Amino acid sequence: MTDSTRLPPAAGPSPDDDAAVAARALPLLDLTSLNDGDDADTVVRLCDRAQSAAGPVAAVCIWPLWVAIAKSNLRGTGIRVATVVNFPGGSFPRERVLYEIGEALADGADEIDVVMNYADVINGSGARAAADLAACREACGDATMKVILETGSLAKPVLIAKAAGIAVEAGADFLKTSTGKVPVGATPGAARILLEACRDAGRPVGFKASGGVRDIAGAREYLALADAICGPDWAGPATFRFGASGLLDALLATLGKGPAGPRSGSGY
């Protein structure tokens, strides 16, 4: 994990204070748009939203094609640019994935969200998934590597734990629940397993909840899990993220900085 990700932890709010939860969650947000119809204008608007009236989010997460545009629009804001590779199925040849990483980094990506070959975890030994991720780790260099496990497809706790172990061993900086492209996204049960893997990793490993976190109640639940498992001072931008689109509007509405209710997004 690069030095620029080592930010101070957010202070823990009262679990009953919606405004405090919103204020805590907003700087942990990876504001995401991964729709098939996204274009340059979509990305510019997303970058504008990322610089919200209540403060900046942690990062924007977009298709690799638009990394350079996002980087240009966010220069000087401190907001990081994340992109996805091997997305969404986790089954592209290793050479293609490494090429995607190289191109994204050349365009200025700060963070790479890579989908692990979760089918190999389900149907095989996980050895191919492990080798692919180790190669991705080397290709990422100092960039933050978030590994998307697709916990909704893994489904069984034993498989989620197995995938988490493979990702940690391969050098993941974050364990991320979901692509947002399958029916089941983040769940508290899966989050607990991933957070326990982060806690027990023996080095800094963060957690990202993505897929279906859209309101204050969801944000509160995942932050409370992180506090209980990893400690009340653990969850900050360097260790905890929400991958979401509509969540930002719910946070801003709670803080009195925007209209009530979330927008529709890209499964996030």
Q: How large is the greatest C-alpha to C-alpha distance in the chain, in angstroms?
A: 50
Q: Does residue 53 register a pLDDT over 50?
A: yes
Which of 30, 113, 120, 249 is the catalytic position? 113
Is residue 257 annotated as part of the catalytic site, yes or no? no
Q: What does pTM read for this prediction?
A: 0.91
- What pLDDT sits at residue 268? 66
Q: Cα–Cα distance between 155 and 151 in angstroms, integer?
A: 6
Q: Cα–Cα distance between 242 and 223 in angstroms, integer?
A: 10
Q: Provide CB contacts within 8 A for 96, sequence distance 6+.
A: none
- What pLDDT sits at residue 258? 80
* Domain range annotation of the chain: 17-254
Torsion sign, CA atoms 41, 43, 44, 46: positive
Which of 71, 110, 208, 215 is the catalytic position? 208
- What pLDDT sits at residue 12? 46
The DSSP H or E segment spanning 147 is strand 144-148
Is residue 208 annotated as part of the catalytic site, yes or no? yes
pLDDT digits (tens, 9 = 90+) for 224-256: 999 999 999 999 999 999 999 999 999 999 999
Which of 176, 181, 215, 249 is the catalytic position? 176
pLDDT digits (tens, 9 = 90+) for 120-142: 999 999 999 999 999 999 999 99
- What pLDDT sits at residue 31? 98
Closest CA to 265 of 237, 243, 245, 247: 245
Best CATH choice for the domain 17-254 from the list 3.10.20.90, 3.20.20.70, 3.40.50.300, 1.10.10.10? 3.20.20.70
Is residue 162 annotated as part of the catalytic site, yes or no? no
Coil, helix or strand for 29? strand
